[in-house]
Amino acid sequence: MSDQHDDPRALFKRSLSADAAGRLAKRAPSPDASARPRADEPDPTTGRADFLRVKGTLQARLLDEIERRGLTSAGESEVVRVVREFTDDVLANEVLPLNEAERGRLAEELAEETLGMGPLSTLMADPAVTDILVNGPDAVWVERFGKLEKTSVRFRDADHVARVIERIAARVGRRIDQASPMVDLRLADGSRVNATIPPVSIDYPTLSIRRFGRQRLRRAELIELGMMSAPMERFLDAAVRARQNILISGGTGAGKSTLLGALAEAIPNDERIVTIEDTAELMLDQEHVVRLETRPQNVEGRGAIGARELVVNALRMRPTRIIVGEVRSGEALDMLQAMNTGHEGGLSTVHSNSARDALARIETMVLMAGVELPSKAIRDQIVNAIDLVVHVHRFEDGVRRVVSVSEITGIEGTTPLLQDVFRFQRSGHQGKRISGEFVATGIVPRLVERMRERDEMLPLSWFQRGGGAADG
* Cβ neighbours of residue 363 closer than 8 Å, sequence gap 6 or more: 375, 378, 379, 382
Which SS3 state, helix, strand or coil, does residue 182 take?
A: strand
Tell which residue, 232, 182, 229, has the closest CA to residue 208: 182
CB 161 within 8 A of CB 137: yes
- Answer positive or negative: Cα dihedral of 162, 166, 169, 174: positive
What are the DSSP calls for 388-420, one per residue?
A: EEEEEEE-TTS-EEEEEEEEEEEEETTEEEEEE
Question: φ and ψ at 209, to 5 degrees?
Answer: -120, 120
CB 276 within 8 A of CB 323: yes
For residue 320, what pLDDT is reported? Answer: 94
CB count, 10 Å around CB of 95? Answer: 8
Task: Per-residue pLDDT tens, the chain, 472 aa: give them.
Answer: 444 444 433 433 333 333 333 333 333 333 333 333 344 443 433 333 467 778 778 877 887 777 677 765 556 677 788 888 888 888 888 888 888 888 888 887 777 666 667 788 778 878 788 899 999 999 999 998 778 899 999 888 898 899 889 888 877 778 888 888 998 888 877 788 999 999 999 999 999 998 876 567 889 999 998 999 999 999 999 999 999 999 999 998 899 999 999 999 999 999 999 999 987 788 898 999 999 988 877 767 778 899 999 999 999 999 999 999 999 999 999 999 999 888 999 999 999 999 999 999 999 999 999 888 899 999 999 999 999 999 999 998 889 999 999 999 999 988 999 999 999 999 888 888 898 999 999 999 999 988 888 888 888 888 988 655 554 5
pTM across the whole model = 0.70
- Answer positive or negative: Cα dihedral of 124, 128, 134, 137: negative
Long-range contacts of the stretch 115-122 (C-beta < 8 A, 24+): 115/76, 115/79, 115/80, 117/164, 117/168, 118/155, 118/160, 118/163, 118/164, 118/167, 119/153, 119/154, 119/155, 119/164, 120/153, 120/164, 120/207, 120/209, 122/153
Question: φ and ψ at 462, to 5 degrees?
Answer: -60, -30
**DSSP label at 137?**
T
- 232: alpha, beta or left? (left if phi > 0; alpha if psi -120 to 50): alpha
For residue 137, what pLDDT is reported? Answer: 93
For residue 72, what pLDDT is reported? Answer: 55
Beta bridge partners of 171: none
Burial letters for 234-265: b for 16+ Cβ neighbours within 10 Å, e otherwise? Answer: ebbbbbbbbbbbbbbbbeeebbbbbbbbbbbe
Radius of gyration of the chain (CA): 26
Tell which residue, 115, 122, 113, 120, has the closest CA to residue 58: 113
**Residue 320: alpha-carbon gap to chain centroid:** 26
CB 416 within 8 A of CB 387: no
Peptide bond into 199 cis (omega under 30): yes
CA distances, 398 to each of 144, 192, 264, 401, 402 (Å)? 9, 21, 24, 10, 13
Torsion angle (degrees, nearest 10) of CA 47, 50, 52, 57: 70
Tell which residue, 33, 29, 31, 28, has the closest CA to residue 62: 33
For residue 41, what pLDDT is reported? Answer: 42
Question: φ and ψ at 260, to 5 degrees?
Answer: -60, -45
Domains of the chain: 31-115 (no CATH), 118-212 (3.30.450.90), 219-471 (3.40.50.300)
Q: Give the CA angle between residues 390, 393, 398 to the nearest 5°.
A: 145
